[in-house]
Amino acid sequence: MKKWNRRIASLTLAAALGVSLLAGCGSQTETEETTEGSETTAATETIELTNVSYDPTRELYAAYNEAFAAHYKELTGQTVEVTQSHGGSGKQALEVANGLEADVVTLALEGDVQVVADAGLIDEGFTSEFPLDSSPYTSTIVFLVRAGNPKDIQDWDDLLRDDVGIITPNPKTSGGARWNYLAAWYYFEQAGQSEDQILESIRTLYKNVVVLDSGARGATTSFVENGQGDVLIAWENEAFLSLEEYPGEYEIVVPSVSILCQPTVALVDEVAEKHGTVDAATEYLNFLYSDEAQVIEAENFYRPSTESIYSQYVSSSDSNTITEIPADGKWINDQVNLVDITHFGGWSEAIAAHFADGANFDQIYEE
């Protein structure tokens, strides 16, 4: 049955709660003696939510969960505690589909959420439950290189050179890796290559991969902490976190062509209903679109979806190289040519053509 729009539902949450508190097996209730005698009343109620997310959102949700807890306390009087789970997005989707109980998922792409929906845990139509195809923030794919860019890597074709070692996660387990692959594909397509030529270019690129980690954060660790490779193909936010944590050691190179990454959020209907957390979990996802949350997303180097907030973070620089976190906080390069997933026919078609068993990636990587 088609769900009613969660965005509209949130507008009536406080009124619907009224003077009562949410109940259900997803919450814990402490009781205390009243001054009248032995009768007990609910003194505090803690709602427990689990958000299963992907690798590079650790810092984002550490900040967001704190803000949401304060918001929900003010809205309802209730305490919320959020447990986070992080890993490669594709692997996370399979974990939830196979029994990891998540009230919400905030995964790297719609296709991974669809895996959970296909397991019968999320109602159909999840991309229309929240604004902007249920994608409250976006990102893109950039290159992280070592200080001074010793291999002079400027664009995707430089990754085909035999003197370049690449770090990127595995598209079979990582949603970010699928964005990486498709961004590269689009570059070679824009360069006028035929499909056979593109496949050969992608094959050469992956022959240069030094480590194929299971998730994006693992790939960052291989490049930054273990010193492997010459270039990391990275989520934009991961690259900026490396600049922030290791000043003077790395640079970001923004390629001429990349892809608009749209992480997708969804209520895991069956689990939230079982836990009695539907209202809290719905508000958890709705609050991602609030101005307060949009600023948190921007401060964690995700591109906010609210235009007025987005514009505050757009850089005026025309350079494709970023050597440090801008002092004015304006970090978004708005000049890169970004394709979106509709160019590839949507995620169902993209997965079938490129990432399913026996599809393009298997063919080029197993040879």
Q: Comparing C-alpha atoms, which of 289, 353, 280, 10 is closest to residue 133?
A: 289
- DSSP conformation class of 178: H
The residue count of the chain comes to 367
Q: Comparing C-alpha atoms, which of 316, 263, 268, 286 is closest to residue 89?
A: 263
In angstroms, what CA-CA distances link 282 with 17, 22, 254, 304? 14, 13, 35, 19
Assess contact for 120 and 273: CB atoms under 8 A.
Answer: no
Assess contact for 136 and 297: CB atoms under 8 A.
Answer: yes
Give the residue ranges of DSSP H helices in the chain: 6-11, 13-17, 58-76, 89-97, 110-118, 131-134, 175-190, 195-207, 216-220, 236-245, 269-275, 278-286, 291-299, 307-310, 347-350, 360-365
The confidence score (pLDDT) of residue 13 equals: 53
The confidence score (pLDDT) of residue 49 equals: 98
The confidence score (pLDDT) of residue 266 equals: 98
What pLDDT tens digit does each residue of the chain (367 aa) get?
334 455 444 444 544 444 333 333 444 433 333 333 333 334 358 999 999 999 999 999 999 999 999 999 999 999 999 999 999 999 999 999 999 999 999 999 999 999 999 999 999 999 999 999 999 999 999 999 999 999 999 999 999 999 999 999 999 999 999 999 999 999 999 999 999 999 999 999 999 999 999 999 999 999 999 999 999 999 999 999 999 999 999 999 999 999 999 999 999 999 999 999 999 999 999 999 999 999 999 999 999 999 999 999 999 999 999 999 999 999 999 999 999 999 999 999 999 999 999 999 999 987 5
